[in-house]
A and B are shown apart, each in its own frame.
Chain A
Amino acid sequence: MMIQDTVSETNKFRFVYLIKPRDFSNAGDASANVKAELQKHGIEPDVIRRVSIICFEAEMNIVLYTKGGKLIVEVDDQKVDILALDKGPGIEDIELVMTPGYSTAPEWALEYGFGAGMGLPNIKNNSDVFEIESEVGKGTIVHSIVYRRKNEIKGNN
């Protein structure tokens, strides 16, 4: 895991993490860093809870199933926007992979408690907006938005 760049504007900030394939010793670090940064910026606990789940599942998917990719998290007054991009192999049947319980995890991953077929459903369940696009041979984009409750935004009436 590595922070590629952090762009900070007044009410907007962004974190980019490079996620390496099969890198289990660092898996989860990007999500942990996102959580710490959101806490530092005083984001609502419920938003942090949901974003943590989304980021962890997206990060583990990149580690387990892809040739590597990126996790990009953007935060502003209204929302947390999470983009997970990978370099393939891509998903043939998106409807099938969205089915709870369906998994393509190899035996070794199952023994480690991965491959429950709950990763993408967990992301969807915790997102206000969820989009997934994939092209076999190219890669997959998972886009997720968690809205911050308006009445909890500082200075918002």
Chain B
Amino acid sequence: MKLKEIIERCNLRVFTPEVNFEDIDITGGYTSDLLSDVMAACEAGSIWVTIQRHLNIVAVAKLKEIPAILITRGLVPEKSTIEKAQAEGVVLLGTGLNSFEATGKIYCLLKGIKGA
């Protein structure tokens, strides 16, 4: 599914307007706040759902080929995180939903389950 569609359907906030997400495909998702857990288990091409918002999440995303990070609970990434994400071409997104709700919604979209 196109990231653009997820952003629209879930009404996500985009923190990195300079990163072009028109052609990004999302093939799965992973929800975790532990960086080593993401390093171990998140598949490339996933959207990563987390409450972490410091600089090092961009490094993890870049290494794991995670095109987009969704920061939940209305939390806002640090300025340095946004700058690094823009520079590295990682899409930073935000939502007022918590990680459980956001994950459920995106899961339903990706799996084509109605009611999301």
Contacts and interface: CB of A to CB of B under 8 A. Distances in A.
Given A24-B54, A112-B54, A118-B40, A31 B35 contact: no
Contact of A116 (B34, B50, B54, B62): B34
B33 A113 contact: yes
A134 interface: no
B64 A52 contact: yes
A27 B81 CA distance: 12
A119 B60 CA distance: 13
B13 to A, nearest CB: 21
Interface in B53-106: 54-60, 62-64, 80
B39 interface: yes
Residue picked from B33, B58, B59, B64, most chain A C-beta under 10 Å: B59
Interface residues of A, number: 22
Contact of A27 (B37, B50, B56): B56
Given A118-B40, A119-B36, A122-B40, A32 B56 contact: no
Interface string A54-67: 00110010000000
Q: How big is chain B's contact interface, by range?
A: 20 to 34
A8 interface: no
A27 B40 contact: no
Given A24-B54, A24-B55, A113 B63 contact: no
A108 B22 CA distance: 37
A24 B35 CA distance: 14
Given A28-B60, A31-B63, A122-B40, 7 more contacts: A28-B59, A32-B63, A56-B59, A56-B60, A112-B54, A113-B56, A114-B36
Interface of A: 24-25, 27-29, 31-32, 35, 49, 52-53, 56-57, 60, 112-114, 116, 118-119, 122, 125
